[in-house]
Structure 1
Amino acid sequence: MEKEMEALRERLAMYEGRAPMAGQPLLNQPPAPIDHQNNFAATPLLKVEDDVFLQTQHQQVAATSLLDLRSGQSPMFYTLGAGEVRLAHGEVNELFTEYFQLYHPFLPFLDQVRSPEEYYNHDHKLLFWAILSVAARRSSSRPTLLKDLAKPLTDLIWDSIRNQPNHHVVKALCLLCTWPIPAERTVTDPTYMLCGVMMQIAMQIGLHQPTHPQDFSRNKVRLQQEDIHDRLRTWAVCNIVAQTVSTGNGQPSITLYDSTLEFKVDDEDHMRTIPPTLFVRLRQEMAASRINKLLYSANTHKFAAEAATTYMTLEADRLKEERGSLDGVDNELEELYHCAVSLHLHLYSFFSPEPRLERRDDLVALYYAATAYLDQVFKLQQASKLPYVPYYIMQMALAAGFALLKLLNSDFAGRLPSKGRTYVLQTVEALRRAKVWPNDLLDRFAEVLAQLWKESSRGRSLHSMSQSPSVSNSGIANMFNNQPQSQQTTQQRRESTGMLEDPLGLIVRSRMSMSVMFDCVWRWREAQVSGAADQLDNTVVTNPTNPDSSSSSTPPPGMIVENPAHTMPNFNPHLNTLSMPLALPQGLASANSYEFFDSVSWMLEAQTDWNQYGSGGFGTDFNA
């Protein structure tokens, strides 16, 4: 090793035009000068072997890297895994700069002053590579970097979790849950799982008790005030991220908002611990958690219809009051997240059993909540910030787009502004622009929304398009309605034979505010003749649907058209996409047929209550 180091040092010095150090023997003597008087002699010319040896850049870097290691300096390359990914110092510095300029404002909790070397050597390697993975999402200098990072970074995540993680690992998981590595199937997306691990690690190491770390450690722990503030700030961000992941996935909150997070604006010590932007975000996600527990919890069905509507109105007023009282730094982002929480609240309107459309002011409020949120998203798109937003922002955009799809294809559409149609088109465009790579989940959901919108003749009463006869199935209607039979007839929103015929009704009702999205995806799958999931891959990449295409007959606004021609491949014209009167074997036998979008089947959450609806033909389908 010593001889190799000396040889490399000598060759590097010669390559750079420097003389070798004193006392070092020359391993390769320079060539003798050529006698120009004997130019035509037969003696062959000597080659400069050292220049040939260090001719390529990789060899130069390798030599310098060995010298750096001997002198105690940081290596020339940062490697991940078994050498699958190698990044030079210049690349790392560039990616760190991109992260703090473009992504950090959406979740400002990391220290911008620390160098990449400090993150790598003093904090944790996982945090270092998590920052790089976020910045690599839109890297122009190395477009394939994120895909190269995906597998070795995943291995590093689980390895870090196994080996006594510290609170810097929790920080890394916060980043990876906010900007997850894109997936093409939610069954392969570990974000919600990692979010739970993040919260469990945070509590295991005592972040929820930041001033008492000794109670959670076998070794003596001495923290300075700055360290305590860092742990407390990390715990606050944990809860912010956990709530956004829960909301975006339609799952119950896994947050823990205890007295530790009761910050006060007028307390200088509190404001030194958590910056104003994070303080506002924390209060907003506390409101989202409160909405989950108040309206979307398992006990919500015990409310009377009027009580739930009243609670929703009161909560909307409270959100407005809190928005006026909270003053952060970035008003644009604060308004964006406020509109997201407001949309999360108003999406509960789809769960209301009120049958009289003339009394459905909550649907009007939902329309304006959805369009207000999309307005904020479109502002980000115009400012070229959309590619850098957290995944949660686009999940809520999906919910807004599918909510408008249902509203504009119902009998209630007459009470809504006609410009709502343009919002759906812009949403599809925004989703496609926000994708990280082709055929990721955002790209696939955008294609489904585009197909549903196109098949509805772009928002012109999809409910009137069904060519199939109405099939009564009281078993299905009862499954999604826990009301006594005597009350069911008075709670139909229209003269229909069941909930499946109602464009405003939800079949998927256990995914909280995101139920509307999963409901539309389920109906889309049932509206396909065969092979929908397999063909979606090819359609998304090679021939994405134009939702505003006029390839099919497009009647003027206001004209009711029965049985329009459907031009999309494999679309079954006998199935109304948003109101499908399906026979039971077809409808419920494949009730989890949208699994390529969703990792947790909605059917599993209702199994304990199936027996109360009687046999009704369920046995063959569910006991197999």
Structure 2
Amino acid sequence: MEATSIERPASQRHRSVACSECRQHKLKCDAHQDYSKPCSRCRRRSLECKILGDYKRIKKPTKAELVREIERIRKEVNPTTASDVRPLEHDSTLQGQTNHGSKSTTPYNIAAALSEIPYSPASSVSTEYQHNLQQDAILDLQGQSRTIDGVTIASEKINDCFNIFATHYSPQVPIVEQPMLLDATFEKSPLLFWTIVTLGSRKYSQDPTVFHQLSHRMATLAFQSLKSRQSPIQTVQALVLLCAWPLPVKHLLNDKIHTLAGACMQLALQIGLHVSGVGQDFARERVQAQVSEQNYRALLWRYCTIVCQSASIGDGLPPSMIVEAFNPDWVDQNTMSPDFNQLALRTKLHHIQSSAISKVVPYIMAPADDASLEGIIEIFDSQARMLQSQLQDDIDMLTMYCVRLHICVSRFMVRQPVSMTGLIELYGIAINLIEKYSSMDAASDLALYSTFYLSRALGLAAFVVLKLHHSPQHLVIDRERGERCYFSVIRLCRRRSLDTPDLDSRLATILTELWSSSMVFRGPDGIFDALNVRIRSRLTMSVFFDCLWWWRQEFRGQPDPFVSQPSAVRQTAADSLTQLVDPFMVFSDGLDYDENYFGMYGTYHATLPYS
């Protein structure tokens, strides 16, 4: 190991210095423990570990820049074939999406493209730069063909699916290491391997049959992995991903997302992810304590709770809250990662949303003080708005709109007189959510890769627009703008659909038929009341499922199940649901956030357990 003798100022002599490789990738480095030996990361990867006092990080070229550089080289070497250059990525949906807010570093197959370029002394690209391109392009994505339940997927298709996953899916739920080692991933956990391939093949245009073949086998593989109890960390990773992007089903009753979410949460608890440290209290053997492992376990637990609880919220089910046991002092505070900042922001928004749901349940399920309900809604909505200055990108903004929608949609539950000002504000939130989603889809194909939570919030926003469009005319809203947004949701649902029919394609049909209906929201007495919500036990998704019942009545000929429901039944349902939700809610009423509020999660600087 090479090391330069650096004379540091007195204020920095005790400050640990990371090696060049770790500084380049902004990773935690333990070289300061013994500067005469390489750090643990360099040892694992067989890298040269250097401590350079004047080292500066080099910005790596983007994928688009690498592709343009290769095309330029080809033009110089052989101008006659320049017009035949095609994009290197097999999946056409990836073209032009290199700026999708992704933090992934997985490039296209640049190494293969460079190998096709004949050598020419006139080439203006330095040998070192070309070597770096080839070295970065390999990324250990040289796997082999794999077989699952009699179905064999070729290695090049697996590589493509891993690239698509790294580009579009991993940045939204970053719990899998980049770059990914194909063969190592398969050896550690076939479930995680096939989950990544399945998600990457959702919109894989080169071979649409890959997803069809794998999606029917993933549920069985998931339950087999839970039964075997091998590689629990990787199993939790896979289940979190399957809950974020569930497999397509034709009917809600066939959806296994909540079964997998429950199993995921319980498995995470069994291996002690909810407790700071490396899970020694939950292990049968001595576990080596590493800060990077501690940080990663905290990160995985946080995304596990956010994704699994959001799946419940998106289906109108009460999220199960778990008491955590994190020590605020167990992590180094020397650095601050942008990933941690984003995770802390998402946690705050999720915390506000879950707290709001727990507080409004007693009010929406039984007769109560409407003024108190309005006050609770305004308190939590204002807390979400306070975080606007911390939003880092479009996905954060979209998430905030979703949280505010779930909070403010409870205004439909307020009994007469209804606050028109609150409904106008709710309408604006729904419009902003749809427009933000549409603009992100136009820029980066969000509809193809968005999570279950975001897509379900999009449907809820459309039903809010539908109800308010059928509201009294004295409700002053921009109806033309709302109509455009409503039709955008129909288009986005069809674009997102993976199978015919699946829930997305059926939702597009339902939205289309309800918009053209002249009977929707018409009660047994012949009076139209779009502001009334008959279903109240589905929490913030009650409006969503109430509209589905209006569709069933008119277009499926089902009788109105709510026309003769006595108030005593609703009161019993209110009591039972309140008992279910309240014991799990351990949040305080007032959430006064500051920069240290999420210090209990430490400074995120995790090395994922794949390298």
TM-score (norm 2): 0.65
- Structure 1: distance between partners of 2:371 and 2:313: 25
SS in 2 for 1:106: coil
Cα distance between partner residues in 2 of 1:297 and 1:243: 20
- Give CA deviations for 1:273-324 in whole Å, capped at 9, x if unaligned: 9533222222221121111112135786474110110111122211111222
Task: Name the CA distance, whole Å, in 2 between partners of 1:132 and 1:141.
Answer: 14
Name the counterpart of 1:146.
211
Alpha-carbon contact 1:174-1:198 (below 8 Å) kept = yes
Tell me by how many angstroms 1:217 deviates: 2.1
Q: Report the CA distance between 1:77 and its aligned residue.
A: 2.2
Alignment CA distance shift 1:174-1:417 (3 Å): same
Equivalent AA in structure 2 for residue 120 of structure 1 = F
For 1:340, give the aligned amino acid. C
- Corresponding residue number in structure 2 for 1:439: 501
1:394 aligns with 2:394: no
1:82-101 map, 5 Å:
83-84=150-151, 86-101=152-167
* 1:236 is aligned to 2:302: yes
- 1:272 CA drift (Å): 5.2
Structure 1 residue 141: deviation in Å? Answer: 1.5
Q: 1:609 to 1:128 in 2, by over 3 A?
A: closer
Aligned to 1:512: 539
**Higher Cα Rg: structure 1 or 2?**
1
Contact 2:276 2:325 in 1 (8 A): no
Alignment of 1:267-278 (within 5 A): 268=333, 271=336, 275-278=340-343
Is residue 360 from structure 1 mapped to residue 420 from structure 2 by the alignment?
yes
Q: Which residue of 2 aligns with 1:588?
A: 561
The answer for the alignment partner of 2:234 in structure 1 is: 168
- Which of 136, 140, 146 aligns to 1:78? It is 146
Q: 1:233–1:274: 8 Å Cα contact kept in structure 2?
A: no
Give CA deviations for 1:6-45 in whole Å, capped at 9, x if unaligned.
Answer: xxxxxxxxxxxxxxxxxxxxxxxxxxxxxxxxxxxxxxxx
Match of 2:446 among 366, 370, 385: 385
SS across alignment from 1:455: coil
* Residue 521 (structure 1) aligns with: 548
Partner Cα separation in structure 1 for residue 261 and residue 424 of structure 2: 34
State the partner residue of 2:525. 470
Aligned-partner Cα distance in 2 for 1:227–1:469: 61
* CA positional deviation for 1:606: 5.3
Q: CA deviation at 1:259?
A: 5.1
Structure 1 residue 174: deviation in Å?
0.6
Match of 1:425 in 2: 487
Q: 1:415 aligns with which of 469, 472, 476?
A: 476
The answer to which of 287-296 and 399-408 deviates more is 287-296
1:159 is displaced (CA, Å) by 0.7
Superposition pairs for residues 534-573 of structure 1, below 5 Å?
none
Query: In 2 relative to 1, CA 589–346 (structure 1 residues): closer, same or farther, beyond 3 Å?
Result: closer
Which string of whole-angstrom CA distances, capped at 9 and with x for unpartnered residues, describes residues 155-178 of structure 1? 110011111241111010010000
The answer to whether the Cα contact below 8 Å between 1:354 and 1:360 also exists between their aligned partners in 2 is: no
- Structure 2: distance between partners of 1:277 and 1:394: 20
Which residue identity does 2:539 align to in structure 1? M
The Cα of 1:203 is off from its aligned counterpart by 0.4
| C-alpha distance in structure 1 between counterparts of 2:510 and 2:485, whole Å | 16
Q: Partners in 2 of 1:152 and 1:93 — Cα distance? A: 20
Counterparts of 1:522 and 1:247, CA distance in 2: 19
Query: 1:568-607: per-residue Cα shift (whole Å, max 9, x none)?
Result: xxxxxxxxxxxxxxxxxx4228999xxxxxxxxxx9x959
Using a 3 Å threshold, how does the CA distance of structure 1 residues 418 and 261 change in structure 2: closer, same or farther? Answer: farther
Aligned equivalents of 2:379, 2:240: Cα separation in 1 = 32
* Residue identity opposite 2:510 in structure 1: V
Judged with a 3 Å threshold, the aligned counterparts in structure 2 of structure 1 residues 75 and 318 are, in CA distance, closer, same or farther, namely closer
Q: Which structure 1 segments of 5+ residues have no match?
A: 1-73, 472-495, 533-585, 593-602, 612-624
Task: Choose which of 185, 199, 206 in structure 1 pairs with 2:272.
Answer: 206
Letter in 1 for 2:429: A
SS of the residue corresponding to residue 229 of structure 2 reads coil
Report the aligned-residue RMSD.
Answer: 3.2
The reply on whether 1:375 has 2:440 as its aligned counterpart is no
231-240 vs 299-308, which deviates more? 299-308
The code of the aligned residue for 2:440 comes to L
Identity %: 25
Decide whether the 8 Å contact of 2:278 with 2:293 is kept in 1.
Answer: no
**Post-superposition shift, 1:258?**
3.1
Asked if residue 194 in structure 1 is aligned to residue 260 in structure 2, the reply is yes
Distance 1:386 1:411, change over 3 A: same
Q: Distance in 1 between matches of 2:498 and 2:483?
A: 26
Distance 1:606 1:310, change over 3 A: closer
**Is 2:410 the partner of 1:348?**
yes
What is the Cα deviation at residue 271 of structure 1? 4.0
**Partners of 1:173 and 1:392 in 2: CA distance:** 15
Q: Please give the per-residue CA displacement for 1:432-484, whole angstroms capped at 9, x wherever unaligned.
A: 11112221101101111110101149xxxx66xx6x9727xxxxxxxxxxxxx
**Equivalent position amino acid for 2:446 in 1:** K
Q: Which runs of 5+ in 2 are unaligned?
A: 1-141, 576-611
Q: Report what 2:51 is aligned to.
A: none
Question: What is the rounded CA distance, in whole Å, between the counterparts of 2:329 and 2:398 in structure 1?
Answer: 22
- Counterparts of 1:316-327 in structure 2, within 5 Å, are 316-324=381-389, 326-327=390-391
Aligned match of 2:380 in 292, 298, 315?
315
Number of equivalent positions: 431
Instruction: Report what 1:177 is aligned to.
Output: 243
- 1:492 paired residue number: none
Distance 1:283 1:142, change over 3 A: same
Give the match's secondary structure for 1:137.
coil
Distance in 2 (CA, whole Å) between partners of 1:372 and 1:311 is: 22
Q: Compared with structure 1, are the counterparts of its residues 210 and 610 closer, same or farther at alpha carbon in structure 2 (3 Å cutoff)?
A: closer
SS of 2:247 mapped into structure 1: coil
Kindly provide the CA deviation profile for residues 241-294 of structure 1, in whole angstroms up to 9, marking residues without a partner as x: 023212211111124363539799x97368459533222222221121111112
1:414 CA displacement: 3.9
Distance, in Å, in 2 between the alignment partners of 1:249 and 1:270 is: 38
Cα distance per residue 1:96-139 (max 9 Å; x no partner): 11111121222222211231122112x31111111111101001
Structure 1 counterpart SS, 2:147: strand
Distance 1:218 1:153, change over 3 A: same
- Partners of 1:520 and 1:245 in 2: CA distance: 20
User: Could you tell me the TM-score, scaled by structure 1's length?
Assistant: 0.64
Which whole-Å deviations, capped at 9, do the CAs of 1:189-228 have from their partners, x for residues lacking one? 1001111111111001100114151211223322422222
Distance in 1 (CA, whole Å) between partners of 2:183 and 2:201 is 18
State the secondary structure of the residue aligned to 2:170.
helix
Is the Cα contact below 8 Å between 2:275 and 2:325 reproduced in 1?
Answer: no
Amino acid at match of 2:315: N
Distance 1:413 1:96, change over 3 A: farther
Partner AA of 2:224 in structure 1: D
Q: Secondary structure at the match of 1:275?
A: helix
Answer with 191-200 or 250-259: which moved more: 250-259
Q: Counterpart in 2 of 1:41?
A: none
The counterpart of 2:221, out of the listed 156, 171, 180, is 156
Quickly say closer, same or farther: Cα 1:439–1:278, change in 2 above 3 A.
same
